Amino acid sequence: MRVDPMGSGAFGSSRGHREHEGVDFMCIAGQPVIAPMAGRITRKLRVYAKDARYQGLVLRREHVLIKLFYVEPDEALIGAGVEEGQVIGTAQNIADKYGTGMHPHVHMEVIVDALEVIRFLGREKREVLS
């Protein structure tokens, strides 16, 4: 996880008037980024409305959606299925935007369908009681 002079990349870390909504993973700018799970890359992201240099992607599988920021996606994979561990893009250098005080990192947000979590927990409870 990223911790540098610009702050912490931990989930919930302070960002002034808001909280950090993901986790930052340290990387080397230009290194390959791999898929954290199997799924389909549904679209590219533009991280900043006023700075098109920084990109990302959305990876979806069933009831889980992962957003990865500061990744230049492999264009050929947009709309395609990918396997866990497959190279899906290249890490960008966020230090180009914020200065050398912020270490290069990939920002990851995970969004899960809450109803599926409740159903899963209910199954787990029933299995323990059986």
Region of 116 please: left (phi>0), alpha (psi -120 to 50) or beta.
Answer: alpha
| pLDDT higher than threshold 80 for residue 35 | yes
Residue 5: the pLDDT is 66
For the chain, give the mean pLDDT. Answer: 89
**Residue 71's CB: how many other CB atoms inside 10 A?**
25
Residue burial 47-68, b: 16+ Cβ < 10 Å; e: rest: beeeeeebbbbbbbeeeebbbb
pLDDT band at residue 86 under the 50/70/90 scheme? very high
Number of domains in the chain: 1
Measured torsion, CA atoms of residues 3, 9, 41, 57, in degrees rounded to the nearest 10: -90
26-41 mean pLDDT? 97
d(CA 26, CA 31): 11
| Owning domain of residue 53 | 3-129
Token duo for residue 39: 């799924």
Residue 98: the pLDDT is 87
**At residue 77, what are phi and psi to the nearest 5 degrees?**
-95, -5
- Give the least confident one: 18-22, 57-61, 63-67, 112-116: 18-22
| pLDDT higher than threshold 90 for residue 122 | no
Residue 126: the pLDDT is 60
| pLDDT higher than threshold 80 for residue 3 | no
CATH code: domain of residue 81? 2.70.70.10
- Give the least confident one: 12-21, 69-78, 85-94, 95-104: 12-21
| pLDDT higher than threshold 60 for residue 87 | yes
